[in-house]
Structure 1
């Protein structure tokens, strides 16, 4: 069983309602919410720190704009009292936000990330966090992504996109664990 430092910060990324409807393509992980909520419950039960991240798009017409209904966090993923919410407008949770400052004030050296989407905001946040010196843990079964056009008239299935990104992140940027491992370690 892995050892997770007491001050490791859980960071749910972009667990927003917009991703359940058009124009977003099909996703693959039907246990995303279940696993994410299990992580939140374990962290809260142990009194460990959580910092939520939400994407507030600045793009006209985006379903993630602050004034769009899809910007809202998914049921059960809203911050509780004392759990900060960091908002971003780019792929990395560390860029243009005070996330790094918040983590340093907590004395955190380990961050645990999950959310939507594996290949975009989660992957970018993992990479930037690792490059900034954090020990990053990616919870692979609490992430999800979308089918993507391959540029040649075909589609790359979301599960394949996810697997490739998790493999890349595991190779150089993060320790990759599953929800059950984290819950048991907390």
Structure 2
């Protein structure tokens, strides 16, 4: 997570939208790390986040009761963490909790107001699947499909996607509701999803998703 100017990318559904399987009550919106510390002027600012926020909010507001927001919780202090996470928290010392305004860990206010009925899931690594109850929450809902939005396309979103694929979920990426701090990596990831994960990962715009999620 650094600085840059990575842009959101619009996409058509892989099959043109003509035979997209509708989203029903087994679909959950997983919104990754849309937090104030990534929107504010911090070391982890993601410049395109304000641009994708309206799309993220539109999806979340359409079905807040079926939305789970993840929050990345930084280390408490520099040097905390296992292995390379210890050097990571040293590298980003100003982003540790002992130095960071605690309010910046919160969701962007427009999204935070949707909780409840939306839920929050906290994590301390990129993946929302490790050391959390995310899979259990989804299984309790009978979910089989995840619509994924948020930041960053090539870091925490990537971890969410691959973990979801491994657990057998149908993954749908809202391409105009994703952002990164690196243009090249953002574009490369979307290309990879389309070319290498077509059976398990679909790419659609927010409008296309909402057209199929009644």
TM range (shorter): 0.7 to 0.9
Match of 1:162 among 170, 176, 186: 186
Check whether the contact 2:72–2:122 (CA below 8 A) recurs between aligned residues.
yes
C-alpha spacing 1:136/1:26, structure 2 compared with 1 (3 Å): closer
Structure 2 unmatched ranges of 5 or more: 1-16, 78-92
Partner of 1:39: 59
Which segments of structure 1 move beyond 4 Å, counting only runs of 4 or more?
none
Structure showing greater relative contact order (alpha-carbon pairs closer than 8 Å, 6 or more residues apart): 2
C-alpha spacing 1:69/1:100, structure 2 compared with 1 (3 Å): same
Q: Output the aligned Cα RMSD.
A: 2.0
What is the TM-score when the length of structure 2 is the normalising length?
0.73
Q: Which 10-residue stretch deviates more, 48-57 or 86-95?
A: 48-57
Q: 1:31 offset after TM fit, Å?
A: 2.3
Check whether the contact 1:64–1:71 (CA below 8 A) recurs between aligned residues.
no
Specify the structure having the higher radius of gyration (Cα).
2
Aligned ranges for residues 99-178 of structure 1 at < 5 Å? 99-146=134-181, 158-170=182-194, 171-172=196-197, 173-178=200-205
What is the TM-score when the length of structure 1 is the normalising length?
0.83
